[in-house]
Structures are given as structure tokens and as C-alpha cells.
A and B are shown apart, each in its own frame.
Chain A
Amino acid sequence: DAKTTQPPSMDCAEGRAANLPCNHSTISGNEYVYWYRQIHSQGPQYIIHGLKNNETNEMASLIITEDRKSSTLILPHATLRDTAVYYCIVRGGGTSYGKLTFGQGTILTVHP
């Protein structure tokens, strides 16, 4: 699976948009970009995923660059409950299809 690079930490003011970047320069054509978050002591929570096109759901938007080498997760109106570790993961195919390889993630702190 392609390796991802994320900043170790970010801050965001409550009510503002949180934009979390991720680099995945070695991504292959059939690999998806997934975002999960983990609030302290809980299991990872699925946020969103995409292949080529930008995606939006009730939680967030995912912007993938045209060359697919990077992406940005956008939380449009961050709340204090969005404080968590955010993981950007590239999910491969073939024999490794299925498993997710987590990195260190980005610790997002939303402050009042």
C-alpha cells in the first residue's frame, strides 16, 4: 500500500473549517484514499473515502488533486467534538486488499 504523510498536529478554531492535508505521492491507480478518525480510547471511526473525484458526505468533504498525489479532508464547521487523531490511509488491492495500514495521523485540536 502507498505510504501517506500527514502533519503531526493542527489547531482549528471552533466554527471554522478544518483542512487536513495528506500526501500520497506513490498511490496507484486502483488505490482509494480513506479517512478515519479516532477519539481518545475509542475505535477508529470511518469518515469518507474516494478514488478520483471529490466526495462529500454529512461529516466532511474530500478533495483529491488531479494527479492523486495528495488530498485534503475538510470539516466545514469544526466543533470541540471533532478533536481527534485523523488518519489518512491509502487502501490497496491485490493480495493486500482489505486491510488498512495506519500511520501516525494528525492530532487535530479544536479550541473555543
Chain B
Amino acid sequence: DTGVSQDPRHKITKRGQNVTFRCDPISEHNRLYWYRQTLGQGPEFLTYFQNEAQLEKSRLLSDRFSAERPKGSFSTLEIQRTEQGDSAMYLCASSLTGASSGNTIYFGEGSWLTVV
């Protein structure tokens, strides 16, 4: 296993269409995170899962966004009725859990979304 894998790496879609991104975390990592990054800004937290449970969602995650991790392994992030403001890089990350915050979070290479 070489790291967090994201697919597709690039997606161009027309406004109003739905898009779905997939993330495969590092094996045995039970935590999975989604972030969004727009040009010139640092990544912003969207949501995270521990196994299949979605434990936290940011206010950035509007009702057009939905994330799932049905079997506690891979995850999908779906954006419905895309808007031009959704154009960004969507980052997935994973980690182990532990008794402290010393478990490193590893990121994938991101999925670029362009809404035209």
C-alpha cells in the first residue's frame, strides 16, 4: 500500500451536474477525512469518519454535499447540482486513532474539480 488514493484526479463538469469522488485510505486506517482547498488558501476541513460513522461535519458541507463510508474502508464524496463556487481541490486523508493526538494524518494527491 503506497498511500491514500483518490479518483478521479481531475474532473470538469457543467454547472448543475452531480459529481462523485472516491477515496481509498491507507490500509487499516480507521479514520478518514475530507478537505477542500481553493486557490491561494490552505485546506479547509469538511468532514471525517471513524470506521463507517461520520463523526463531524463542517458548516462548509452544505446540503448539496454528502459523504459516505459504508463499509469503513473507501469513502465517496458526492456534490449535487454543482456550482461554479464548488471548483476546488478535494483532498482525502486518513489516520489511525489512538489515545493521544499523535497519530499522523496522511493526505492523498487530491481531486481537482472545475465547474464550467
**Residue ranges of A at the interface with B (Cβ–Cβ < 8 Å):** 30-32, 34, 36, 41-46, 49, 51, 85, 87, 91-93, 95-105
Contact partner of B104 (CB less than 8 A), chosen from A41, A49, A92, is A49
Q: On chain B, which size bracket covers the interface? A: 20 to 34
Closest 9 CB pairs of A and B: A102-B42, A43-B107, A44-B107, A99-B45, A43-B109, A91-B101, A43-B110, A102-B43, A93-B101
Find out whether the CB atom of A43 lies under 8 angstroms from the CB atom of B108.
yes
Cβ–Cβ < 8 Å partners of A31 in chain B: 101
Say yes or no: is B88 at the interface (Cβ < 8 Å to chain A): no
- With both beta carbons as reference points, the residue of chain B lying nearest to A91 in the complex is identified as B101
Q: How far is the CB of B37 from chain A (nearest CB, A)?
A: 8
Say yes or no: is B100 at the interface (Cβ < 8 Å to chain A): yes
Find out whether the CB atom of B106 lies under 8 angstroms from the CB atom of A92.
no
- With both beta carbons as reference points, the residue of chain A lying nearest to B91 in the complex is identified as A43
With A32-B101, A46-B104, A51-B102 as contacts: A98 and B109 at CB distance below 8 Å: no
**Residue ranges of B at the interface with A (Cβ–Cβ < 8 Å):** 4, 31, 33, 41-45, 48, 50, 55-56, 89, 91, 93, 95, 97, 100-102, 104-110, 112
Cβ–Cβ < 8 Å partners of B55 in chain A: 98
Contact partner of A49 (CB less than 8 A), chosen from B41, B42, B56, B102, is B102
Cβ–Cβ < 8 Å partners of B100 in chain A: 30, 32, 93
Contact partner of A100 (CB less than 8 A), chosen from B4, B45, B108, B110, is B45
How distant is the Cα of A92 from the Cα of B101 in the complex, in angstroms? 7
Q: How far is the CB of A64 from chain B (nearest CB, A)?
A: 14
Q: List 7 A-B contacts (CB under 8 A).
A: A43-B91, A85-B42, A92-B101, A98-B55, A99-B56, A101-B45, A102-B44
Find out whether the CB atom of A87 lies under 8 angstroms from the CB atom of B42.
yes
How distant is the Cα of A88 from the Cα of B42 in the complex, in angstroms? 11
Find out whether the CB atom of B91 lies under 8 angstroms from the CB atom of A44.
yes
Contact partner of A42 (CB less than 8 A), chosen from B102, B104, B110, is B110
Contact partner of A99 (CB less than 8 A), chosen from B48, B97, B110, is B48
Apart from A41-B110, A43-B4: 9 A-B pairs, beta carbons within 8 A: A41-B89, A44-B91, A46-B105, A46-B107, A96-B56, A98-B101, A99-B45, A104-B41, A104-B42
